[in-house]
Amino acid sequence: MIAAVIPAAGTGSRTGLAQNKLLTPLGGEPVILRTARTFLSHPRIDLVCAAVREEEKETMRALLGDRVTLVRGGETRGASVLAALEALKGQADTVLIHDGARPFADADTISRVIAGIAPGRGCVAGVPVTDTLKEVKEDGSIASSPDRARFWAAQTPQGFLLAEILAAYRACGTAFTDDAAAFEAWGGKVLMTKGSYRNKKITTREDFMMPPDRFTGIGYDAHCLKTGRKLILGGVDVPYEKGLDGHSDADVLVHAVMDALLGAAGMGDIGQHFPDTDPHYAGASSLHLLEAVCEKLRAAGYTPWHISAIVIAQKPKLAPYMAAMRTRIAETVHLPEERVNVAATTPEHLGFAGRGEGIAAQATATVERQYHG
């Protein structure tokens, strides 16, 4: 049986937050929940035990559910780990100890640590140091510049046979910055295995700034051509004997872009937001509707990042108007033109568009969602 121990009884004082940093949202959910989920979903982990502060036990229970065993943590990280190890005696033979403030560990790292554990040997995830190292004197001057090729930064999880790491903590005390140090002090050997540079520890307020997530959606629209209507594509008035028929200005290019943006954000389609049964949208400019879509995206925390669209039409010839379409769309969604592409193709007389009965458009759009904790 393999158990995961998550020390989670600290206060996170270095973040300057008013609460335990592990209860602070990161990407929309508390740090501790992200951390625990990684181990709960790993096929080799049988038990998860978190050492928590007594006054936060009910809050942690509500977040983590019954699949995580909670024990009372100590005043230090080492004391919390020891409390969890004592609670796991007889329930597991191998243990992985992982900082509650490292929510970005991945399944492959966990598997490598498990593979490196052997009698008398622990295994620790880590990464080679990439910065130049300096040994600094008390007065601030540099004493030496060690060769960084010999140094790795230790991460978690750190894995051991439970009986051995428990014996190490009992014999050597809990005043260590990580579990490997306690194990080495006890006389054990420790293997370093590949971790991930993404597996960082949340220590300061700035660490709550996650890289943005990006999502991509697809849009499609088609309308019939009709005499007596203007042909509007990409917000541009294209001279032609017919125009597209529809409730609004029937701009299929912009409609496809709108659906792609809404789809990327998981927000449905333009029919839901601007139904053709609503007289308010009769004859409406699709660029104005595109502006409204962008406002809806921003309200939900999304920002357009990239758009690529193509118009499918046998006639008229659209090449002279493509640059203007690109400019109009880019201006409307507030993107630089290099992140917007508009193209056109003929269907070689195939289908309704090839017969000149209508025009279609397809688009893909990527949006960003930036998390600020």
CATH for 294: 3.30.1330.50
Residues composing the chain: 373
Domain limit, last residue, from 207, 235, 262? 207
Residue 22 to residue 34: CA distance in whole angstroms: 9
Considering the domain architecture, whether residues 283 and 190 belong to the same structural domain is answered as no
Considering the domain architecture, whether residues 54 and 198 belong to the same structural domain is answered as yes
Considering the domain architecture, whether residues 240 and 340 belong to the same structural domain is answered as yes
Considering the domain architecture, whether residues 164 and 281 belong to the same structural domain is answered as no
The 10s digit of each residue's pLDDT in 322-349 is: 999 999 999 999 999 999 999 999 999 9
Q: Strand, coil or helix: what is 110?
A: helix
Residue 244 belongs to domain spanning: 213-369
What's the number of domains the chain is made of?
2
Mean pLDDT of 76-80: 96
Q: How far is CA 113 from the centre of its chain?
A: 24
**Please, what is the angle between helix 162-172 and helix 77-88, to 10°?**
130
Query: Radius of gyration of the chain from Cα atoms?
Result: 29
Considering the domain architecture, whether residues 183 and 257 belong to the same structural domain is answered as no
Considering the domain architecture, whether residues 102 and 136 belong to the same structural domain is answered as yes
Considering the domain architecture, whether residues 198 and 226 belong to the same structural domain is answered as no
The 10s digit of each residue's pLDDT in 98-132 is: 999 999 999 999 999 999 999 999 999 999 999 99
One-letter amino acid for residue 236 of the chain: V
Domain limit, last residue, from 207, 227, 246? 207
Contact 167, 188 (CB under 8 A): no
In the structure encoding, which two tokens stand for residue 142, read together?
Answer: 């540099």
Considering the domain architecture, whether residues 267 and 166 belong to the same structural domain is answered as no
**Closest to 100 measured CA to CA, from 84, 123, 121:** 84
Phi/psi-derived region of residue 140, left when phi > 0, alpha when psi is between -120 and 50, beta in every other case: left
Domain limit, last residue, from 192, 207, 222? 207
Strand partners for 160: 95
Residue 132 to residue 113: CA distance in whole angstroms: 27
The 10s digit of each residue's pLDDT in 148-167 is: 999 999 999 999 999 999 99
Cβ contacts of residue 59 below 8 Å, gap of 6+? Answer: 23
Tell which wins on pLDDT, 45 or 280: 45
Task: Indicate whether 315 pLDDT > 80.
Answer: yes
One-letter amino acid for residue 330 of the chain: A
Cβ contacts of residue 156 below 8 Å, gap of 6+? Answer: 96, 97, 98, 99, 102, 105, 124, 125, 178, 179
